[in-house]
Structure 1
Amino acid sequence: MYRDETTETAEAAEDGGTGGADAAVAPATVLDHLLVSLQLTDSAFPSGFYTLSHGLEGFAQQGAVGPGGLAVLLHDVLRHGVGPADATALALAHRAAAADDWDTVTATDHRLHATKLGREMRQAATRTGRQLLDLAAEVFGAPGVAHYHRVVTERRAPGTQAVAAGVVYAATGVPVRQAVAADLFAFCVSFAGAALRLRLTDHRLAQVLLRQAAPVIEETTRAALDRGLDDLGATTFAVDIMSARHERAPARLFAS
């Protein structure tokens, strides 16, 4: 047990956690990082992230996806949408926040906001991001979270969800790889929850969907960690079109 936990602590430092000081901290700190990740990705954490369908309701309204196509759609969105955009932004913001480079955090925030072509997606990203910062400032009391919360409150940055998450994870010492993977998993849980409410799946098959996404989350995490700011941006045009149509739908169950 001691060898495993020591290895995890070393990996945490390598992944861009709080640096060399973390490597000498008791193994309980590694467990605390896991607990922070579990709390932030829990559907009971009231950031509003689980009020979103991430474009899935638009696909359902147009009859463009059925139960058999959920996994393919989710994997495509991870690889070509959330991964190159939100996951990449989270990794960049995490590293910059850990280094107190707030100019880079803000630049990443503006870049991610600009890549969200539809009004609905932009509003969803900033609403959940600002709520996350507001709540995390109270829950965790970390100076970095409080600082960026002020930046966003003063309208010096849009406060997108992914960048806000990067700041919170960095401030609480969660290593960057774990942070990216956790947020991608939260996206998948939110997507699966939306599929349930849209009656595109049931509870058992939703769990199968999540398990099938695991290797894609790993792949997407690795790719996100290798990108720079110039590489940030999604190429999921069908999602953008469905989101635009969703904005004009006469009835909507989800905010996006």
Structure 2
Amino acid sequence: MSGVDELLAVLQLTDSAFPSGMYTLSHSLEGYQQARAVTPATLPALLAGILSAGAGPSDATAVALAHRACTAGDWPAVAAVDRRLHATKLGREARQATVRTGRQLLDLTREIHRTPELETLAGLDGVRPCRPVVAAVAHAALGVPVEHAVAAELFGLAASLAGAALRLRLTDHRRAQLLLRRLAPAIERATADALARDLADLGGCTPLADLMGARHERAEARLFAS
């Protein structure tokens, strides 16, 4: 792929309008809002923490590992990353969400690109697959460098969180864009950290977010699926 093709592929897969189902998720943010544990003033620090302590060590690390394994043609390693990532999702909603959006992402990306790597992943035994693993294989198949793939994963999550905050009335459209820009340093650090981890290090530590997700599962009314 040319540099422009690579850029377009990244932009398409991380676009908030891409129908992978990410718009249905709040990534525990609705649980925080229901518990009155987040305000517009505390939102930026909360999202930075989710990226650095949660998504960075888990989803972003999975992207780095699965991308490298796919590039090397090591499909057992891809499957091992998928299993490990799924096991680190402590909440039922989080596990279901990563598989549901992963299958949707895989089906749609195969329609668009039809690469041998995506076809191999679709037929691979022992994978669900989790969405970050699908994204990693898609980016690897399209020639997107691993560091760009990891940063794209984290930015896509940040954009999804900002969208959820908007729907939860924790921000507005203008402040959401400012919020995304302010999260750039956290994304950069989380990207560098994810690239340096191995499989044994895969897994975030966000006990409060896990608690909010568990509370959200039992909420009487929910706007989001997680």
Q: TM range, normalised to the smaller chain?
A: over 0.9
CA shift, 1:44, in A, is 1.6
Equivalent position amino acid for 1:208 in 2: L
Give the counterpart of 1:145 among 109, 118, 127.
Answer: 118
CA distance in 2, matches of 1:148, 1:40: 17
CA distance in 2, matches of 1:209, 1:96: 33
CA distance in 1, matches of 2:192, 2:201: 14
Query: How many positions carry a matched residue from both structures?
Result: 226
TM alignment of 1:50-129, pairs within 5 A: 50-129=23-102
Equivalent position amino acid for 1:159 in 2: P
CA distance in 2, matches of 1:231, 1:60: 30
Equivalent position amino acid for 2:129 in 1: G
Equivalent position amino acid for 1:223 in 2: D
| Alignment correspondent of 1:21 | none
| Alignment correspondent of 1:24 | none
| Alignment correspondent of 2:203 | 233
Equivalent position amino acid for 2:11 in 1: L
| Alignment correspondent of 2:19 | 46
Q: Does 1:195 align with 2:168?
A: no
Equivalent position amino acid for 2:8 in 1: L
CA distance in 2, matches of 1:65, 1:127: 27
Give the counterpart of 1:186 among 156, 159, 167.
Answer: 156
What secondary structure sits across from 2:41 in the alignment? helix
Q: Structure 2: where are the runs of 5+ without partners?
A: none
Equivalent position amino acid for 1:191 in 2: L
Query: Could you tell me the TM-score, scaled by structure 1's length?
Result: 0.87
Q: Which has the higher contact order (CA 8 A, sep 6+)?
A: 2
CA distance in 1, matches of 2:23, 2:121: 23
CA shift, 1:76, in A, is 0.5
- Runs (4 or more) in structure 1 with deviation over 6 Å come to none
CA distance in 1, matches of 2:92, 2:201: 22
What secondary structure sits across from 1:67 in the alignment? coil
Give the counterpart of 2:7 among 11, 31, 34.
Answer: 34
What secondary structure sits across from 1:63 in the alignment? coil
Give the counterpart of 1:248 among 210, 218, 222.
Answer: 218
CA distance in 2, matches of 1:158, 1:182: 22
Q: Structure 1: where are the runs of 5+ without partners?
A: 1-27
Q: CA RMSD in A?
A: 0.9
